[in-house]
Amino acid sequence: METVWFAIVAAMLAIYIVLDGFDFGVGILHRFVARTNQERRVVLAAIGPVWDGNEVWLIAAGGVLFMAFPKVYATAFSGFYLALMIVLWLLILRGVAIEFRGHFDNPLWREFWDTVFSVASGLLAIVFGAALGNLVRGVPLDETGLPGMALFTNFWPGQYPGLFDWYTLLVGLFACIALAGHGAIYLDWRTTGPVQERSHQAARRIWLGMVPLWVLVTVATVAVQPEIFTHLLSRWWSMLFILLTCGSFAAVFYFHNQNRPLAAFLSSSLYLLGLSATTLIGHFPHWLRSTINPEFSLTASNSISAQYGVQVALAWWAFGMLLTCGYFVYLFYSMRDKVDSDNLHGH
Amino acid sequence: MAEALIWHRLQFAFSVTFHYLFPQLTMGLALLIVIFKSLALSLGNERYNETARFWARIFALNFAMGVVTGIPLEFQFGTNWSRFSAYAGEVVGQTLAMEGVFAFFLESTFLGLFLFGEKRLGPRGHLAVAASLAVGSWLSGYFIIVTNAFMQHPMGHAVGEDGILHIASFRDYLLNPWGLWQFAHNMSASVVTAAFVVSSVGAYWALMGYHREQAAICLRAGVIAGMIAILLVAFPTGDQQGKMVAEHQPVTLAAMEGLFEGGPYAELAIIGQPDVAQRKLQNPITVPGVLSFLIYGTFGSTVKGLNDFPEDQWPDNIELLYYSYHIMVGLGTVLTLVMGVASLLLWRGTLLQTRPMLWVLMLSFPFPYIATTAGWWTAELGRQPWIIHGLMRTADAGSLQVNPGDVVFTLLGFVGLYLLLGMVFVLQFVKLVNNGPVAHE
């Protein structure tokens, strides 16, 4: 049962990264690819109907983690106190920026909220990337739990690292660039005119920049947490995920050159899905890895809820996901056409 | 830890109080929007559609505030209340996860369709989307209230050998009778808030001579919905809620009522100031026997007072609890009178010409917010000193690993951020109301 629920939470997080990833990327690029108010409204209309639903994957994944692995939820959230509060404030600012910008017809008002939206999206991508880096690297869990973690210590992964060190910052930077690339391809698919041209060009540059950065992050991960790779190599089926990730990375370039933005977007989604899944498979069975003593680590098996609760939950979860997939397919299907820049309605 | 506890409590109290200013409007408003849209469809009157679109803009603004201020609450279970989460997560995590899976996905995807898809969906499709949105928001309310009901009156759980709570009966947990009544009480109150806001805007337009037809629509819908809902808040939902408190949290009831010395023919305090040190109510105006009657149906029944319980069972802030409860009941009574008079005038067809009544309606919108907030404070302060009634004390629930100074800092951060956002929100709300129902963009 613990494996099933680990996989469920991991899958929900991976879907979150793919879905909210593109609207984070759109946020990061917003001020660069769209210059006039009309262009910015087009960009926001491209994510308007979906961003809120995308964000719910984070909330729902958090809720499921709470239900299935309460000890992990309690330990990680209190240990990462300050970082999570920063995440909350950024999420609040990012969410209201989208809603607020259109309410006053004043260029300074709009410029302010556009900037808030961009900066919050970029910082969130970095912090979420760094959070993933913390899981991979490990945290100073002792027999009492996770003492409130410092934001930084000596910027070096060791027994008592802070939330930010060179490794987690590198992962954060990689996340920020990767999501920007994902967002650029999304805009290439969903928009027309100058916004599309700029997004198309930005996508090319960003994805080329990703090649050395991805190699660097992979090498750094081998150095910081070699166990991830020994885990991956010990399970034959994890090769499928590695192949999927590498294949879809190449497919992004192929379809982008062919000017097939929808195919490129699906490839970039598969790439992020594959990369997140591969990382979490390598991470399994750990939730929180102790840098002090492996005995203190929280794993799927030592933190799973009792049998009856997670069995009942499996039934409602499956039913709920069926409904949810229906909503998302319908929502994305009903907005499959490009954003019509002459007819921006909504509010 | 003793020092950190007060900061944990203040931060949660502040952020949940601020948060609930928004859903209490949107849940009720969702229902009213569905009503406007159905009337538009059945009467073929475009004015109803304009009214519905106006309230959809208000809904979107409030919904955005509700979403962003709601996320911190789920996080705080882990960040600030980690011992509570580790102890009760297997139980309360069920409904928090269900809220995400069943309510939030429905609400957020259908909100996108609702705001951006009116043309594409057509009138019937758009009405169906609005109805789904309303169902999503009410479901979300249900899951949260079941979670709260567990903390008020635990059901369906078992204490395991490992010393933590496990689900024993999913059905008992999800259908906790406390939760069912609390949900009915709370959702009626949410309709009251929405109805007062809708009437208030209608009265404002009517007094200014703006948008006459839409003003009349808002006044009619607001007053009728408000009258029905406010009666439901009192009876049967509020009455049943009170009886459950009397049965399962008798010490809370005594503190709410300011009843120190219990006994038969227990008196109902209309006003009076509790003096906890002297264990008496100062300057009271009381009606003998009425409290006994309200709870047990006969004047002679015995109601226990605070003196019948050891002090370590008492709620830890009796004064605030007493005033919250009396503010809720007092404002509820006044608001019922306001809606009663407005309904009478509406029935006689003179509401739109009765300017003093329109003034009263226009200015009354803050009070249902205050009454609802006071009601939640009554529920939450009344549960003290327990975080889960009878199972875990609030003092044992906070995160030990978090530096109290960090909590002071983040509380200040929330206060600053929310005050600024609140001001910006009010600016936009006022602008939307002034733009009126026919404005685009």
Q: Do B97 and A67 touch (CB under 8 A)?
A: yes
- Chain B, residues 3-62, CB within 8 A of chain A, namely 56-57, 60-61
Residue B154: pLDDT over 60: yes
Q: Which amino acid is at A44?
A: L
Residues of B in contact with A49 (CB under 8 A): 112-113, 115-117
8 A C-beta contact, residue B82 and residue A75: yes
| B393 min Cα distance to partner chain A (Å) | 17
Q: Is B159 left (phi over 0), alpha (psi -120 to 50) or beta?
A: beta
Mean pLDDT confidence for A292-305: 91
Please name the residue of chain B whose CA is at the shortest distance from the CA of residue A62: B97
Query: What pLDDT does B118 receive?
Result: 85
Query: What pLDDT does A335 receive?
Result: 77
Residues of A in contact with B71 (CB under 8 A): 59, 88, 91-92
Domain locations along chain B: 2-262+304-435
Q: How confident is the model at residue B441 (pLDDT cuts 50, 70, 90)?
A: very low
| A315 min Cα distance to partner chain B (Å) | 11
Residues of A in contact with B96 (CB under 8 A): 63, 66-67
Mutation for testing the B interface, residue in A55, A78, A112, A139 having most B CBs under 10 Å? A78
- What is the distance between the alpha carbons of residues A238 and A248, in angstroms, rounded to a whole number? 16
Radius of gyration of chain A from its Cα atoms, rounded to whole angstroms: 20
Mean of all residue pLDDT scores within chain B: 94
Query: What pLDDT does B3 receive?
Result: 82
A178-206: pLDDT as tens digits: 999 999 999 999 999 999 999 999 999 99
Mean pLDDT confidence for B65-81: 95
Helix axes A261-283, A227-234, angle to 10 degrees: 100
Mean pLDDT confidence for B234-261: 94
- What is the distance between the alpha carbons of residues A65 and A74, in angstroms, rounded to a whole number? 10
Q: How confident is the model at residue A55 (pLDDT cuts 50, 70, 90)?
A: very high
Please name the residue of chain B whose CA is at the shortest distance from the CA of residue A345: B116
B322-331: pLDDT as tens digits: 999 999 999 9
DSSP string, A76-111: HHHHTHHHHHHHHHHHHHHHHHHHHGGGS--HHHHH
Q: Do B97 and A84 touch (CB under 8 A)?
A: no
Q: How confident is the model at residue A333 (pLDDT cuts 50, 70, 90)?
A: confident
Q: How confident is the model at residue B274 (pLDDT cuts 50, 70, 90)?
A: very high
- Which tokens in the block code for residue B238? 């509020």
- What is the distance between the alpha carbons of residues B81 and A166, in angstroms, rounded to a whole number? 31
Residue B28: pLDDT over 80: yes
Residues of B in contact with A81 (CB under 8 A): 79, 399, 401-403, 406, 410
* Residue A163 DSSP class: S
Q: How confident is the model at residue A159 (pLDDT cuts 50, 70, 90)?
A: confident
Mean of all residue pLDDT scores within chain A: 92
Q: Do B101 and A313 touch (CB under 8 A)?
A: no
Domain locations along chain A: 2-334
Q: Position of tokens 């459950």?
A: B244
Residues of A in contact with B74 (CB under 8 A): 59, 62-63, 66
Mean pLDDT confidence for A24-49: 92
- What is the distance between the alpha carbons of residues B216 and B198, in angstroms, rounded to a whole number? 11
| B243 min Cα distance to partner chain A (Å) | 31
CA dihedral of A261, A264, A268, A269, whole degrees rounded to 10: 70
Query: What pLDDT does A345 receive?
Result: 52
Q: What's the distance, CA A55 to chain centroid?
A: 10
Q: Which amino acid is at A191?
A: T
Burial zone of A208 (CB within 10 Å; 0-12 exposed, 13-18 middle, 19+ buried): exposed
Query: What pLDDT does A334 receive?
Result: 80
- Which tokens in the block code for residue B234? 């009192």
Secondary-structure class of domain A2-334 per CATH: mainly alpha
The predicted complex's ipTM stands at 0.92
Residue A53: pLDDT over 70: yes
- Which of B307, B184, B305 has the alpha carbon at shortest distance from B253? B305
Q: Where are the alpha helices (DSSP H) in B80-104?
A: 82-98
* DSSP-based three-state secondary structure for B165: strand
Q: Say if B286 is an interface residue toward chain A (CB within 8 Å).
A: no
Q: Which of A143-152, B139-148, B221-230 is the least confident region?
A: A143-152
Query: What pLDDT does B7 receive?
Result: 96
